[in-house]
Structure 1
Amino acid sequence: MNLRKDIESLYWEGVYAATPKYLSGPFWKAHPDLTNLFSNPQKKNYVFALGKAAYSMALSFLDFFPVDAGFILTKYNHLPEEIRSKERLGVLKCRESSHPIPDENSEKYSREVLSELMDLGEDHQLIVLLSGGGSSLFEIPESGYTLENIIQLNQTLLKDGLPIQEINRRRKEFSAVKGGKLLGKLNPLLKVYTFVISDVLGDDPNVIASAPTYPGSEYYLMGNLSHSLTAIQKKAMGLGYEVKTVSSSWDKSSEETAEQVFSELSLAQTNPNKQAILFGGELVCPVNGDGLGGRNQETALRVALLTDFFETERDWLVLSGGTDGTDGPTDAAGGIIGPESLGVMIKKGWDPKTELIRSNSYPILKDSNALLFTGATGTNVNDIIILLLAEGNS
């Protein structure tokens, strides 16, 4: 039995189930009115794809419909190298900017796409393909504010570990394009359609990517975390696991999350069958030190620390990862830890408690071969935590 192989395959099953490639066919089949609309030769389709999943959403849309022009704005290193160098995908311009804190390119490319959008008339229809991350990628300061003001605001909000609902509410006050403000700058005769892959618990359209086209456009949810969890549950059962989903809307801190994961591990010991225990949600992780890490990596490190005096003859693993492939300001998606992880860290000279105080989970997990690396996944639907426990002796 290979728990490492199983836990990674379950994670990837969840990721794939939330990708535009997987979601698009069933979605368009369920919306024939939209299919007819975007296939109308009398109208010009302009696509604005924004967010971490912008490239894959645009690519998928092109598989189904003709597009006259468009613009992809995504996170650095989220475009394939060939597309990045050409700065084009067919008729679509392709640009990258900064996440989770905006930079000069965020404003530069936002103004570039805004100029194009403002030229669209009633012979066009604007298709906005929206995913998480758009808040920092697409930014133009409101009158009276500067980009530096917005950068400082974002740094403060993210360091405090506030819920995304509160972060994006504050962001809207400083922005000229969030909270539906983008629509106010466009031709009032232009029809706008927004299609979303949600990275927000509850899928509130006021929150996702800070709502550049809501309220005001026709708005459709294409995918969210539930698609991922359902797929993981099905695959886990197919692999012979008993499956328990603790929560599909988990919003606790990394510390509380680790404690709950450890509690579930301890409880699972009483059941001899092999088990898969799932959490889905958006972890919260205040930054207390000057280290490098992310909320999923910190959760994994905290779980490892809690297992210091945990004894069992059964193998187990915990994966905590972001479905977008990037956890915090790092190149890792999260962490994977098991029975040997804490011992490896200590043997290599690390003090996990000290590193947690520094918010420095990345280096200790990397040195312990406990990081999850995926690269950009093409989607973004919150965090997934998977606990696997091997079968016990009967």
Structure 2
Amino acid sequence: MSLDPEKFLRGLFDEAVRAAAPARCLAAHLPPAPKGRTIVIGAGKAAASMAKVVEDHWRGPLEGLVITRYGHGEPLEHIRLVEAGHPVPDAEGARAAEAILDLVSDLDADDLVLCLFSGGGSSLLAMPGPGITLQDKQKINKALLMSGASIGEMNTVRKKLSALKGGRLAVAAWPARVVTLMISDVPGDDPSVIASGPTVPDLTSVAEARDILARYGIDVPLSVAAFLESEAAIPPKADHPAFAAAETHVIATPQASLQAAADLARSQGIEPVILGDRIEGEAREVARVMAGIARQVREHGQPAQRPAVLISGGETTVTVKASGASTGRGGRNAEFLLAFALAMAGEDAIYALAADTDGIDGTEDNAGAVYSPATLARAKGLSLEAAEYLARHDAYGFFQRLGGLVMTGPTRTNVNDFRAILVL
């Protein structure tokens, strides 16, 4: 078999991204036009591309506002676009969130609020609850990002500290009809977790949010602590009439993208094994497990005979120690791959790619990185100590020196991480 392993792996990643493109999956879910106004609002890394599809297919007048991360915008004609900070919220996002609240207020039952949410929406829809400053919310967000907390845990906290998330947006828009279209970037595709569920009932409690902050040792500002003791932190009840009239559709999922990649692999004569779409855990620990599975394929033909590709998704985490051990540039996918390289120790016939489907691995400009059996030998030739780079969370720097970064730019969608391990 004549196969370029890195080209093959990059092809699988590109196919996974294409499967989640709003242009491919959104138009079929558009609701009929209402008697009254159509207000389009949204937040997330895919918000601009989702709004573009709405504009291209909508028949009738519409207006609205969507928020996306800096650099992820697209030209829009009728819907206002705001670019704002992610993963840490900023003043642009806060102002835009207030404008969204103004847009959906004072509507009636003849009006439609079409909501477009994707990964990143939680940070971008940054309107703090009463009495909480943006600075305090930023502090909590930064601490959570470095703590190793899962996306579900982070969003449990975010929902409690928001004026719009955790179903509050739907309540604000009532009695207008609310239809929400979501692209999932979370394990399990739970609509209440995607973008922290602005139009979906929040079934978690304030006590859970306080417990998460305590468990991860987060230093809680006084304003946040006071808010979490107030009635304002309690989410709207699930039996509120706003939720009975609302519709929610998850239009793209990690599993669908993994399946698209698997179908492409099979068409090229490589047996795909989907290990799961909701794999979580510390990136370097997940890497060691994946290395063990890859060896099992190569040595014992389990769970598939060679040539095979192990495909997985989900969202790993990276815990940065408070001691200041991090002096480098990371990204959970690059960190996964650097740990995978160390676990494989240059063994033959195994290649890997790990990348974020939004095109941005954490806060860097790469989507992820690629590994080959020659990676550690090439690093040694450049006097790069892989273990030292991993210790200071500088996987970006390691793969940058090797020319192993995967660069795509913003993909304008987001179905979370994509990992593919090729065993020849």
The TM-score normalised by the length of structure 2 is: 0.83
Q: Distance in 1 between matches of 2:26 and 2:123?
A: 26
Tell me the equivalent position of 2:238.
none
Per-residue CA deviation, residues 170-229 of structure 1 (Å, 9 max, x unaligned), is 11222111111123333x321111111111111112211111111323211111111101
Tell me the equivalent position of 2:250.
221
1:373 to 386, 394, 407: 407
Q: What's the secondary structure of 1:184's corresponding residue?
A: helix
Tell me the equivalent position of 2:372.
338
Q: Which amino acid aligns with 2:402?
A: S
Q: Which amino acid aligns with 1:290?
A: T
1:12 Cα shift?
Answer: 0.7
Tell me the equivalent position of 1:264.
293
- Which moved further from structure 2: 59-68 or 239-248? 59-68
- Which moved further from structure 2: 138-147 or 108-117? 108-117
Tell me the equivalent position of 1:254.
283
Q: Distance in 2 between matches of 1:274 and 1:320?
A: 19
Q: Which amino acid aligns with 1:299?
A: F
Answering whether residue 26 of structure 2 is matched by residue 51 of structure 1, we say no
- Which moved further from structure 2: 112-121 or 228-237? 112-121
Q: Distance in 2 between matches of 1:231 and 1:345?
A: 33
Answering whether residue 136 of structure 2 is matched by residue 149 of structure 1, we say yes
**Please, what is the CA RMSD of the aligned residues?**
1.7
Q: Identical aligned pairs, as a percentage?
A: 33
Unaligned 5+ segments in structure 2 are: 202-242
Q: Distance in 2 between matches of 1:311 and 1:360?
A: 23
Answering whether residue 55 of structure 2 is matched by residue 62 of structure 1, we say yes
Tell me the equivalent position of 1:199.
185
Q: Distance in 2 between matches of 1:90 and 1:120?
A: 23
Contact 2:107 2:175 in 1 (8 A): no
- Which moved further from structure 2: 241-250 or 12-21? 241-250
Per-residue CA deviation, residues 30-50 of structure 1 (Å, 9 max, x unaligned), is xxxx64x23x5x333221121
Answering whether residue 109 of structure 2 is matched by residue 115 of structure 1, we say no
1:355 Cα shift?
Answer: 1.7
Q: Distance in 2 between matches of 1:168 and 1:273?
A: 40
Per-residue CA deviation, residues 293-349 of structure 1 (Å, 9 max, x unaligned), is 1110100111111222x433x3x3200111111111111111111111112222222
Q: Which amino acid aligns with 2:62?
A: D
Q: Distance in 1 between matches of 2:171 and 2:261?
A: 41
Answering whether residue 90 of structure 2 is matched by residue 103 of structure 1, we say yes
Q: Distance in 1 between matches of 2:171 and 2:41?
A: 16
Q: Distance in 1 between matches of 2:401 and 2:197?
A: 39
1:74 to 68, 71, 82: 68
Tell me the equivalent position of 1:4.
6
Q: Distance in 2 between matches of 1:364 and 1:117?
A: 47
Q: Distance in 2 between matches of 1:302 and 1:110?
A: 39
Tell me the equivalent position of 1:31.
none
The TM-score normalised by the length of structure 1 is: 0.90
Tell me the equivalent position of 2:309.
276
Aligned residue pair count? 370
Unaligned 5+ segments in structure 1 are: 29-33, 84-88
Q: Distance in 2 between matches of 1:191 and 1:243?
A: 42
Tell me the equivalent position of 2:167.
180
- Which moved further from structure 2: 50-59 or 279-288? 279-288
Q: Distance in 2 between matches of 1:99 and 1:268?
A: 39
